[in-house]
Chains A and B, each alone.
Chain A
Amino acid sequence: MKNVPNHQAQTKTWYRKLLDLLLQKGCCSCSEGEGCANQDCSCTNGNTCAIREWLEKSDGAITPPDPGQPTLTALPAGERAHVNQLLLPPAQKKRLLSLGLTSGTEVTVVNNENGRLIIAVRDSRLGLSPDVASKITYRVA
């Protein structure tokens, strides 16, 4: 496959790479349409953009919060509710799912201090920071 992009990656100075790492920037940005409609992408062993996009799909857009839906932040201690949606990036969403926060699961709020929650879910306890609690929507039990 073409070596040009690889060569580019190599000649990147270390502080550029440093900045890229901090900004979490990859070397391919198909979705932004940076001139690689059907060309090879630089960093995926010559995968085409369609494949690249499929591979990156899981890092894609997060479902936007529905303003009508209440989030766990609003629940006082002692309340029960059913989890509805997790509006989080896929990696975090998967972790929360494996910890038992699947749709419809009943949770009990053990403590809520300014949106920082301890919840009882299934038979364990989870501590959620406000930025997580505010992205979990619920239905009333």
Chain B
Amino acid sequence: MILALAGQPNVGKSSVFNTLTGMQQHVGNWPGKTVEKKEGLFTLSDGRRISLIDLPGTYSLTSNTIEEIITRDFILQTRPDAIINVVDTSNLERNLYLTTELLDLGRPVVMILNMMDLADQKGYSIDAPALSEALGLPVITAVASRKNGLNELYSSLDNLIAASDKHRGNFCFSPPVEQVIANIGERLQHYSFEGHPVRWLAIKLLEDDAQIKGLVAATVSESDLAALQAEISQHFPGGPSSLAEERYRWINSVLDAAVRREGLGKISASDRVDLVLTSRWLGVPILLAVLAGVFLLIFKLSPPLQELIGGLFSWLSHLIQVYLGPVLPNWLVRLLTDGVLAGVGTAMSFVPLILITFTLFGLLEDVGYFARAAFVMDRWLGPLGLPGKAFISLLMGYGCNVPAIMAARTAENERDRLLTILVTPLTICSARQVVAVALIGAFFRPKFAPWVMLGLYLVGFALICLVSFVLKNMVLKAERNPFFIELPMYRLPNLTNIITYAWHKTRGYLQRAATYIAAVSALLWVLSYFPGGSIDHSIIGTIGHWIEPVGRPFGFDWRLLVALLSGFAAKETTLATLGVLYHANESSIGAVLTSSIPFASGLSFFVFSMFYIPCLVTVLTIRQESGSRKWTAFALAYTLLLAALLSLIVYHLALALS
């Protein structure tokens, strides 16, 4: 049995999902899409297994965003046994809009009233039985985040499954509109539309839905199409907006019957917080302070854990040397320790960094601050042609480019999304931060280090501005999309949700680290050991020597080139490779680099390694997200050029000055 979980954004849908399925969930992507798909299993009291699909959060079901198309296509094609509609009780009026759209799809619906505590706080009182009566749907009151009401949900689902009436709801449009819908439906019903309900198709035609218009135009005969167009233009003068009005009219009649809302539209405590957090003068400084705090916390918390993991791996490699050393040939032991374990160890040492980053970002998102950050930043990103939402993407880019590029999905249109995707690789991701910290430590005196780091971020941001400005000016006529965003009420964070979210992100990274990075490090070690037995006489050494002239203008010797090549596999590998090539371990690498690389070359390498082509996984993500090889190539080419240009300037400047 399949149930679908649907709801608007910010309604606590994922906490309902987590409560229902516990940890029995599978996170993947929708086929061919990069929107996250969560699937979970739970068992009813009588032993029946239920598969629960978490649909993306959407405000409505138009065909304007990927999420909306995924949601409606899933319901139409898979025809789940029921849709569980999670609503934010403190925001019932707007939440019921999606409910009316879900009911149009013709599947049974059960409603979960979530966030009752927020509704209480707002002074709303809800008569749940009356609401259920007015909606024509079973209504479950549950505060999913506190686990109460779960039993009620189970038994309600039980009843729903047993019930013969199908919970299609009481929603309908006004009689004249229903008449038009019926007339259109009559013409459409002679054709087959992949089993889509005819009534829904008729409604979507009236709403001027591009996808459905295309489907109808491709299916029906020309005379029928002309008749449909005539029907719409003659008997439906109100246009698409009148349907939205009618939906809200019905919603208000439901609310009048069941909900008392005192203080509707009054300035609340949450609004007063916003007067400060989004204000013209304080908004940006507060945002910067919050970010500074987040990064400070990340850098305070993760090094001890990183060392712990590093220690664990040196202990492991010690064990291998002691117990396997006498048994296995020397090169195999070294492959395991210096190759695989060293590589995986370096990759694993990022796990705390990633876990903490996503926990903190998850926290900011959960309390509702991310929406404000986007709103505040829109003022500054606007002139660059970037949508305010791009800021969230860019912000995530400082953790890892991969989820950041995925987050660009929230953009309003293709152009905004493409622009966001293309500039995201210029953010300094956490893997590059580690490389940066090591290189800065090697080439600058400790008292300058924080300033160099700050300078790096500023240069990175300036590059983002520059590139978006240039790209925007290629877009001569296209106007920037008008920006608006929902500002959800501030609320207390739900720790379970945040940790689940951070864990899923980290697990994705772990899987990559365990498989991909292990293989690449092993391969790299083999290439740097055979056939000669040392790096100088290895395959990689030969390649490095061979391409050495390429690096000369930038002051790179063959080892730095090889490090950059390996950094393409994963940025953090740059450091590991340097370690292998300069015969240094994690603790001595700084000193070894200082003594063996001239300052100008080091600086140039630093700049190059920060901005040259994004790592392999990021490139694959860009390919997937932009859906275009050409754009991916463009991203690769422009970052490479930019890095080359910058490091050329830096190298010769440093040479001239010293």
Residue of B nearest to A22 (CB): B475
The digit string for B254-278, where 1 denotes a CB below 8 A from any CB of A, is: 0000000100110100110011001
Interface size for B (C-beta < 8 A) is: 69
Q: In whole angstroms, what is the CA distance A26 to B648 when docked?
A: 40
Contacts of B388 in A (CB 8 A): 129
Contacts of A54 in B (CB 8 A): 213, 217, 229
B9 CB to nearest A CB, Å: 11
The digit string for A94-125, where 1 denotes a CB below 8 A from any CB of B, is: 11111110111110101101101010101111
B596 CB to nearest A CB, Å: 43
* Contact residue among A59, A98, A118 (Cβ-Cβ distance under 8 Å from B59): A98
- Asked if A93 is an interface residue, CB under 8 A from chain B, the answer is yes
Contacts of A99 in B (CB 8 A): 59, 94, 484, 486
Chain A at the B interface: SS class: mixed
- Asked if A9 is an interface residue, CB under 8 A from chain B, the answer is no
Residue of B nearest to A129 (CB): B483
Q: In whole angstroms, what is the CA distance A55 to B216 when docked?
A: 10
- Asked if B279 is an interface residue, CB under 8 A from chain A, the answer is yes
Contacts of A91 in B (CB 8 A): 62, 64, 412-413
Chain B CB count within 10 A is highest, among A47, A58, A98, A100, for A98
A105 CB to nearest B CB, Å: 8
Q: Are B487 and A111 in contact (CB under 8 A)?
A: no
Q: Which of B588-638 contact A (CB under 8 A)?
A: 630-631, 634
- Asked if A57 is an interface residue, CB under 8 A from chain B, the answer is yes
Q: Are A23 and B478 in contact (CB under 8 A)?
A: yes
- Asked if B73 is an interface residue, CB under 8 A from chain A, the answer is no
Q: Are B486 and A124 in contact (CB under 8 A)?
A: yes
Contacts of A27 in B (CB 8 A): none
The digit string for B338-373, where 1 denotes a CB below 8 A from any CB of A, is: 000000000000000000000000000000000110
Contacts of B412 in A (CB 8 A): 91-92
Contacts of B217 in A (CB 8 A): 47, 51, 54-55
Interface size for A (C-beta < 8 A) is: 56
- Asked if A126 is an interface residue, CB under 8 A from chain B, the answer is yes
Q: In whole angstroms, what is the CA distance A99 to B213 when docked?
A: 23
Chain B CB count within 10 A is highest, among A14, A123, A126, for A123
B321 CB to nearest A CB, Å: 53
Q: Are A17 and B630 in contact (CB under 8 A)?
A: yes
Mind listing 29 A-B residue pairs with CB under 8 Å?
A: A18-B630, A19-B474, A21-B414, A21-B415, A22-B415, A22-B471, A44-B214, A51-B217, A58-B208, A80-B265, A86-B241, A88-B482, A91-B412, A92-B481, A99-B486, A100-B97, A111-B274, A118-B271, A118-B278, A118-B375, A123-B93, A124-B94, A124-B486, A124-B487, A125-B487, A126-B485, A127-B486, A129-B378, A129-B379
